Amino acid sequence: LHDFSLICPSPIILFQLLENNIVTFVKNELKRMHKVLSQHKPPSLQTENEDVMEDAFEKEMRNSKEAFEKITLNFLRRMKQEELADRLQSSKRIVNDEHEIRQIEAASRTPHRPETTIRQEDIFKVPPGRDEPVRTVMTKGVAGIGKTVLTQKFTLDWAEDKAHQNIQFIFPFTFRELNVLREKKFSLVELIHHFFTETKEIFSFENFQVLFIFDGLDESRLPLDFHNEEILTDATESTSVDVLLTNLIRGKLLPSALLWITTRPAAANQIPAHCVDMVTEIRGFTDPQKEEYFRKRFRDDEQANKIISHIKTSRSLHIMCHIPVFCWITATGLGDVLETREGRDLPGTLTEMYIHFLVVQTKVKKVKYDGGAGSDPHWSPESRKMIESLGKLAFDQLQKGNLIFYESDLTECGIDIRAASVYSGVFTQIFREERGLYQDKVFCFVHLSVQEFLAALHVHLTFINSGVNLMQIDQPTSENLKTKTKELQSLHENAVDKALGSTNGHLDLFLRFFLGLSLQSNQSLLLDLFTQTKSSTETRCQTVQYIKEKISENVSAEKSINLFHCLNELNDRSLVEDIQQSLSSGSLSNDELSPAQWSALAYILLSSGQDLDEEAKNIDFYY
């Protein structure tokens, strides 16, 4: 591409090279599919090294793989190999399992193609160009985006005769409640009677238009095995809850029923694609809706304008505010800063924002439960103990990918059920106790990002208090615990390496928080919670340099962008400022850029609120 002086090969040689490349590609893909289908429970078809550079070439390769998979499926079905075709199709990754913040960042940019907006009242209507009815709808959305609220609004409108009057029964279930029943057996009728006692006089639902809502697939701990050959067609026959659900979703049981499943994107592939008729996605607040939210929250126009202007200038905060829950967290933190730090700068990083949010909650506890004043020191020994316990729970469960916690999860972390109830009562805006229809207690943090922040705080506190490095790739044995390191730099490097080694980026936001907590300015906001670390300026410089080295190693685009966010949390913008200066002067040329500078350019373009075409006008490319 870079040297036009090369002699162009003859057409015959070109086609031979083309044939060799295609044959090699097909053979490799068939080997991979054979390996997948030979296993008892097929994993994702995405190979381990597909988490590399997400540039144009890789995207084209991904498209080629998807196209080849479709061709293979077509041939398998023509060969009457339906079982193999179904297994291959269900093993396909139908969604992106990257960290949700990456998805929010992607959604904040202009889409490549027009998207169709659908009203909730039309969710089961047949879309244009489709002949078959819509039976099963899956709605995706990141944590806190409003999936549960949407299903509740749908149900409320139906109950108040405002919409959906063609539906005679709506049965809303949550996987949180269904998890408790995983060891028990029910028939479909018995399950309905168990949760909705008003229907106990009805023993057949075949003659009614019924809608089942299953909220929170990502919270399911049921073994939903769609390759299980156990077929259930009788709604009065008892079986395990997971078999009940898989047959209902596959349409074997009560095929006339409508199904609505909500989930975070990473868990959507638990349901085979051929079992879902339509997929919708909740994108959260638009920019005007963000502004509307803050104007309603802050009646004072001057305060509202200041906060709205501040969020627009901080790209990280602006992106996160697509999530309604984060708008509430932001309003809580910024509101406190405006009242207590008049004239000072508002927090511009996620770490500082979440520290202020935590401080507000401890102030509320001090005033409401301890009889103190808002100006009193808020980190009492009791508060510290609670935060430390919640931090351990947050970190341990983040490692396992759990967002909801049952009694067994609490016990593993050294928290009994009564203590958890106390924590929930005291820190209601951080940690919640919920009771479903089944009346079993379930606990969760108010949002995934709060869990990630407290997890980061736990790792930092553990190191400060005991010198134990929880981020070591190889956990220390009992023998070498005696020689545990107290070098914060090693801890930072381990955390960066572990986050980069995550295939789905589940530690990306955790890493931002964790590195942000190393700054003295942020630690000063948490005085009395832990002692400030020594030589933090030196450690910061070393950590910044280590991150820059990782960026230079050509890590994937998403991971590179997250590393730039980490630099932002560490108040280092040197790479970005260098590129921005070159952009402004019009002197940027592709033959002068190092890998780190290329990554900086990608970060600027992808996180810019401006039109990319306008940005690109200042770039002088040569090919």
Query: Strand 431-435 vs strand 441-445: parallel, antiparallel, or unpaired?
Result: antiparallel
Asked if residue 45 lies in contact with residue 33, where contact means CB atoms within 8 angstroms, the answer is yes
User: Using CA atoms, how far apart are residues 34 and 72, in angstroms rounded to an integer?
Assistant: 12
Judge whether residue 395 has pLDDT over 90.
yes
Specify the pLDDT at position 363.
83
Residue type, 490: S
> DSSP secondary structure string, 587-600?
-EEGGG--HHHHHH
Q: Lowest-pLDDT range, 151-160, 213-222, 572-581?
A: 572-581
Sequence-distant (6+) residues with CB within 8 A of 4 are none
Query: Strand 136-140 vs strand 278-281: parallel, antiparallel, or unpaired?
Result: parallel
Mean pLDDT of 431-440: 71
| % of the chain with per-residue pLDDT over 90 | 30
Q: Lowest-pLDDT range, 145-159, 302-316, 548-562?
A: 548-562
Between helices 56-78 and 11-38, what is the axis angle to 10°?
Answer: 70
Q: Which residue has the tokens 């991150």?
A: 547
User: Using CA atoms, how far apart are residues 529 and 507, in angstroms rounded to an integer?
Assistant: 24
Mean pLDDT of 500-508: 81
Asked if residue 394 lies in contact with residue 451, where contact means CB atoms within 8 angstroms, the answer is yes
Specify the pLDDT at position 343.
60
Mean pLDDT of 529-552: 79
pLDDT band at 451 (very low <50, low <70, confident <90, very high): very high
User: Using CA atoms, how far apart are residues 190 and 277, in angstroms rounded to an integer?
Assistant: 27
Strand partners, 240: 185
Q: Which residue has the higher pLDDT, 419 or 616?
A: 419
Assign 526 to helix, strand or coil.
coil
Query: What is the rounded average pLDDT for all residues in the chain?
Result: 78
Query: Strand 239-240 vs strand 278-281: parallel, antiparallel, or unpaired?
Result: unpaired
Specify the pLDDT at position 493.
94
Residue type, 576: V
Specify the pLDDT at position 454.
96
Question: What number of other Cβ atoms are within 10 A of residue 382's Cβ?
Answer: 13
- Out of 48-57, 209-218, 295-304, the most confident range is 209-218
Judge whether residue 41 has pLDDT over 50.
no
What is the pTM (predicted TM-score) of this model? Answer: 0.71
- In a 13 Å sphere around the CA of 86, the CA atoms on its Cβ side amount to 13
pLDDT band at 460 (very low <50, low <70, confident <90, very high): very high
Query: Strand 185-186 vs strand 239-240: parallel, antiparallel, or unpaired?
Result: antiparallel
Mean pLDDT of 284-297: 92
Question: What number of other Cβ atoms are within 10 A of residue 480's Cβ?
Answer: 9
What is residue 483's DSSP assignment? G
Specify the pLDDT at position 576.
77
Which residue intervals of the chain bear CATH 3.40.50.300? 132-281
Asked if residue 219 lies in contact with residue 186, where contact means CB atoms within 8 angstroms, the answer is no
- Out of 12-26, 359-373, 419-433, the most confident range is 419-433
Q: Lowest-pLDDT range, 231-235, 424-428, 443-447, 458-462?
A: 424-428
Q: Which residue has the higher pLDDT, 533 or 587?
A: 587
Judge whether residue 178 has pLDDT over 70.
yes
Judge whether residue 310 has pLDDT over 80.
yes
Specify the pLDDT at position 46.
38
- In a 13 Å sphere around the CA of 318, the CA atoms on its Cβ side amount to 16
Judge whether residue 31 has pLDDT over 70.
yes
Specify the pLDDT at position 175.
93
Residue 279 has phi, psi (to 5 degrees) of -115, 130
Mean pLDDT of 182-205: 92
Judge whether residue 328 has pLDDT over 50.
yes
Mean pLDDT of 368-385: 70
Query: Strand 169-174 vs strand 210-215: parallel, antiparallel, or unpaired?
Result: parallel
Per-residue pLDDT reduced to its tens digit, 475-492: 544 444 434 445 888 999
Specify the pLDDT at position 484.
43
| % of the chain with per-residue pLDDT over 70 | 72
Q: Which of 107, 65, 41, 451 is nearest to 270 (CA)?
A: 41
Asked if residue 555 lies in contact with residue 49, where contact means CB atoms within 8 angstroms, the answer is no
User: Using CA atoms, how far apart are residues 546 and 571, in angstroms rounded to an integer?
Assistant: 15
What is residue 345's DSSP assignment? P
User: Using CA atoms, how far apart are residues 152 and 154, in angstroms rounded to an integer?
Assistant: 5
pLDDT band at 567 (very low <50, low <70, confident <90, very high): very high
Judge whether residue 3 has pLDDT over 60.
no
Exposed, middle or buried: residue 36 (CB in 10 Å: 0-12, 13-18, 19+)? middle
Judge whether residue 354 has pLDDT over 90.
yes
Query: Strand 441-445 vs strand 404-405: parallel, antiparallel, or unpaired?
Result: antiparallel
Asked if residue 120 lies in contact with residue 154, where contact means CB atoms within 8 angstroms, the answer is yes
Superfamily of segment(s) 132-281? P-loop containing nucleotide triphosphate hydrolases (3.40.50.300)
Exposed, middle or buried: residue 471 (CB in 10 Å: 0-12, 13-18, 19+)? buried
- Rounded to the nearest 10°, the torsion over CA 297, 303, 308, 312 is -150
User: Using CA atoms, how far apart are residues 468 and 461, in angstroms rounded to an integer?
Assistant: 10
Question: What number of other Cβ atoms are within 10 A of residue 235's Cβ?
Answer: 21
User: Using CA atoms, how far apart are residues 95 and 173, in angstroms rounded to an integer?
Assistant: 23
Specify the pLDDT at position 198.
92
Strand partners, 261: 138, 214
Per-residue pLDDT reduced to its tens digit, 57-110: 444 555 566 676 777 777 776 677 766 666 665 554 474 456 666 666 666 555
Specify the pLDDT at position 439.
57
Specify the pLDDT at position 94.
75
Specify the pLDDT at position 510.
95
Judge whether residue 391 has pLDDT over 90.
yes
| Structure token digits, residue 271 | 């349901």
- CA 148-153-157 angle, to 5 degrees, is 155
| Structure token digits, residue 98 | 């990257």
Mean pLDDT of 359-387: 75
> DSSP secondary structure string, 49-114?
GGGS--SHHHHHHHHHHHHHHHHHHHHHHHTT-HHHHHHHHHHS--S--S-HHHHHHHHTSPPSS-
Assign 212 to helix, strand or coil.
strand
